[in-house]
């Protein structure tokens, strides 16, 4: 099975017209979905299971993607492009991520990772962590170590609301 990034790279090397590339990507995805559904046994439940966001970052991303794609909800493992997203909408989401989380994710992630809530949230969290000064991080860890469990839980609950 060819990975999504392999498909993007192959298409990009064959064609340089953005609209033509998008059409090829959609056609390949539709063919792949049709192939997978034809080979999968019919169990009457062809829908994917919804997995709710688990972190504040995942929650924000799921809501933002659902809003951008005009969907009721987005599972953390739903592929943005399979849901009907395109590169322009993805770039707009990257811009909103920059504004919301103060991190600059490279545009190349559109082709290097699966564009799902969980994958993008992991990258946002990673970039934010890398941006934190090590001395500042040490102070925060000390504060967390000295915080009673009840207070820590109360703060987590406040962050989730």
DSSP 109-142: HHHHS---HHHHHHHHHHHHHHHS-HHHHHHHHH
Residue 45: band (very low, low, confident or very high) from pLDDT cuts 50, 70, 90: very low
> Tokens 């990034």 sit at which residue?
5
Dist. CA 33–CA 44, nearest whole Å: 17
Query: Which carries the bigger pLDDT value, residue 86 or residue 12?
Result: 86
| pLDDT at 123 > cutoff 50 | yes
Return the top range by mean pLDDT from 8-12, 31-35, 109-113. Answer: 109-113
| pLDDT at 6 > cutoff 90 | no
Neighbours of 72 (CB within 10 A): 5
| pLDDT at 44 > cutoff 60 | no
Prediction pTM value: 0.58
| pLDDT at 53 > cutoff 80 | yes
């Amino acid at each position: 099975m060819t990975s999504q990034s392999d498909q993007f790279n192959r298409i990009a090397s064959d064609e340089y017209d953005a609209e033509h590339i998008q059409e090829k990507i959609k056609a390949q995805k539709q063919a792949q979905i049709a192939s997978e559904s034809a080979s999968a046994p019919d169990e009457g439940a062809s829908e994917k299971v919804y997995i709710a966001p688990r972190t504040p970052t995942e929650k924000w991303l799921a809501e933002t993607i659902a809003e951008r794609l005009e969907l009721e909800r987005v599972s953390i493992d739903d592929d943005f492009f399979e849901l009907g997203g395109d590169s322009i909408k993805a770039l707009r989401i990257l811009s909103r991520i920059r504004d919301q989380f103060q991190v600059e994710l490279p545009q190349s992630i559109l082709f290097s990772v699966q564009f799902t809530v969980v994958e993008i949230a992991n990258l946002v969290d990673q970039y934010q962590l890398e941006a934190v000064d090590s001395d500042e991080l040490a102070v925060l860890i000390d504060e967390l170590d000295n915080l009673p469990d009840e207070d820590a839980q109360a703060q987590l609950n406040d962050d989730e609301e």
